[in-house]
Amino acid sequence: MRWLPVFYIAGVLVLEPITPVQWPVSFMLIALPVIAAFAHRPAVVAAATVFAIVFEGVLAGTPCCAGRPVSYVWDRHYVAAYFCTALVGVLGTILAAHRLRRERTLATVRFVADIAQRVLLSPVPHRVGPILVETLYLSAAAEARIGGDLYEAVPTRYGLRLVIGDVRGKGLLAVETAATLLGAFREAAHDEPDLPAVAHRVEISMNRRAARLAGSETGERFVTAVFAEIPESHVVRMVNCGHPPPLLIRPDGVTEMETADPAPPLNLGMLPLEPYHVEEYPFRPGDQLLLYTDGVTEARDTTGTFYPLRRRVLSWGPLQPRELLDRLHHDLLDYSDNSLHDDTAALAVYHLPDDRAGRPRG
């Protein structure tokens, strides 16, 4: 874009000598200030305006280029062209100033969104004993990289506790809902002795907050979530609250961790009548757990086909957590032709083989 005015002038210079005399191609320079306004500062646009007026006069009075006498420089048609160029130059200068203000505002919004994202989704510990943890977050909104998808990993005396969730809503209310859930989980993960108690305490916090909010939309701001716990034994326990099933990735295959009795999503305005059901799966050295939001599985290609996550992961073979999420990131963008329509979060948890675990680190 910065070189577009130069290319435009070059195009006019090429057309001017080869067109008939009655076709004043130099009038096309009237558009030069507007073209410059797309990528340059107001001072550059003003300079481009002066250049366009002078250059129009030069082309008008250059016999070798257009076959016209010098008196054409002050022909009424050219004077009108000078006036129009000056007017367009003023408008282009105003446009450039407005564009700069919008760019500064957008940069500020993105900066604030990045800070809010780091506060909301604080960095997780990348290694807890023999467990490696990596994260991925993609926002569907280019203007502000923050949304309602969430994740957290908290080392506790009960083991590593994880959560991933998706707020069914957009905007500030969705971010506030995500912050409430994460704050409640970070406290409950340290205090509650079992995973159902963690989920129950988060549900209470969510309902308490919803009761303070006015409006009919609060009941629609529910959250699907998966709570997981990896104790020192080689198992992973899971409570699923209406969320897509995680994948258990092993050297010999990929399994969807379906829940026989999933709980309803959080924040529906009532506490579950039945206790939260805990599923327990073996989680041996070399196994990997992939938790994700539905922004992954609901990504579509150009034909409208959903992203086949399990089949893709199975085709990639064994990958380390960071490599897995990077591969997933690029594959999602390629599959959707760089047009993701929903926020996406993913959490990869890998159990190091015994010969690589070494001394545990928090």
Which pLDDT belongs to residue 70? 46
Q: For position 274, which CATH number holds?
A: 3.60.40.10
What residue type is 344 in one-letter code?
A: T
Q: What are 145's two structure tokens? A: 């990289």
Do residues 100 and 134 both lie within one domain?
no
Do residues 221 and 313 both lie within one domain?
yes
Which pLDDT belongs to residue 88? 87
Asked if 145 contacts 110 with a C-beta cutoff of 8 angstroms, the reply is: yes
**Is residue 219 domain-resident?**
yes
The Cα–Cα gap between 262 and 66 comes to: 80
* Whole-structure pTM value: 0.70
- The range of the structural domain enclosing residue 12 comes to 4-112
Total domain count, the chain: 2
What residue type is 58 in one-letter code?
A: V
Which pLDDT belongs to residue 350? 96
**Is residue 47 domain-resident?**
yes
Closest CA to 9 of 43, 62, 56, 57: 56
Could you report the per-residue pLDDT of 35-50, keeping only the tens digit for each?
Answer: 888 888 899 889 888 8
Which pLDDT belongs to residue 71? 47
Do residues 93 and 158 both lie within one domain?
no
| Sheet (strand 223-230) strand order | 149-156, 159-167, 223-230, 235-241, 279-282
Mean pLDDT for the chain overall:
82
Do residues 103 and 184 both lie within one domain?
no
The Cα–Cα gap between 250 and 248 comes to: 6
Do residues 73 and 209 both lie within one domain?
no
Which pLDDT belongs to residue 65? 44
Do residues 244 and 346 both lie within one domain?
yes
Range name among 89-103, 195-209, 343-357 with the lowest pLDDT average: 343-357
**Is residue 362 domain-resident?**
no
